[in-house]
Amino acid sequence: MKLKLTIAYDGTAYQGWQSQRSGRGVQDQLHTALAALFPEAPELTGSSRTDAGVHALGMVAHFETAELRMPLRHLPLALNALLPVDIRVLGAAKATEAFHARFGAKGKEYRYRIWNHAAMNPLLRTQAWHVPRALDLAAMQVAAALFVGQHDFRAFTAKRPGILGDSVRTLTRCEVRKRGPEITVVLAGPGFLYKMCRGIVGTLVQIGEGRYPAEAVREMLASRDRRISGVNAPAHGLVLQKVFYR
């Protein structure tokens, strides 16, 4: 049978979702827990590869097993008893044979938290980017709207070894919201490039600080040049909020 898990984690102590030689990937912790419950030590396939320090509330993953020796509703409890306290399985469900956590995903939503106040909220020190300088929210909202749609986002991705292939992506949402000193950037779309969310958020913050005009987003996108866009926002403010399936 194929089983689908919904997973939340605080990524502070981990080198991202993906398994690592060091064993410090979130996936490594889940593999260890699954191996303790299932004799075949099933391989877990995730819907996304979050970077080191990035968090998740709605990571989806699947695995296959010959037999489940407990009621399905007990599986999250059994796994959580074996996992570190900063990783939790929120739910488990049977999936169809055709289901694939990664290739079946039709969209993802990320959220980035910014604490815009002279003093950092100590309760959010590992969950939000502290930006003490006052930000122009209206300019950030105008700029965010320019990211929506299909664009070549080469200017907002970090380099990886090898040649970057297709860098055209579609954003269905890019919104900037404010509640008190907390600003949240919501980004949604079918897929994202490496560090693309962090490149967009870093640029929006620099626009809010007055370092670029909002309209500069058009020039950045057209340039396809990472050197003329804004900085990457720190990883710890980013959360994979939800993965969408048909």
**Contacts with 121 (C-beta within 8 Å, 6 or more apart), sequence order:** 115, 128, 181
3-state DSSP helix/strand/coil % of the chain, to nearest 5: 30, 30, 45
Answer yes or no: 51 catalytic: yes
202 residue type, one letter: G
Residue pair 164/157 in contact by the 8 Å Cβ criterion = yes
Residue pair 153/76 in contact by the 8 Å Cβ criterion = no
Tokens of 187: 């980004």
- Residue 51 CB-half CA count within 13 A: 18
- How far apart CA 86 and CA 71 sit, in angstroms, is 24
Residue pair 223/155 in contact by the 8 Å Cβ criterion = yes
Q: What is the DSSP string of 123-161?
A: GGTTTSEE--S---HHHHHHHHHHH-EEEE-GGGS---S
Annotated catalytic residue, options 28, 51, 166, 225: 51
Q: Active-site residues: which are they? A: 51
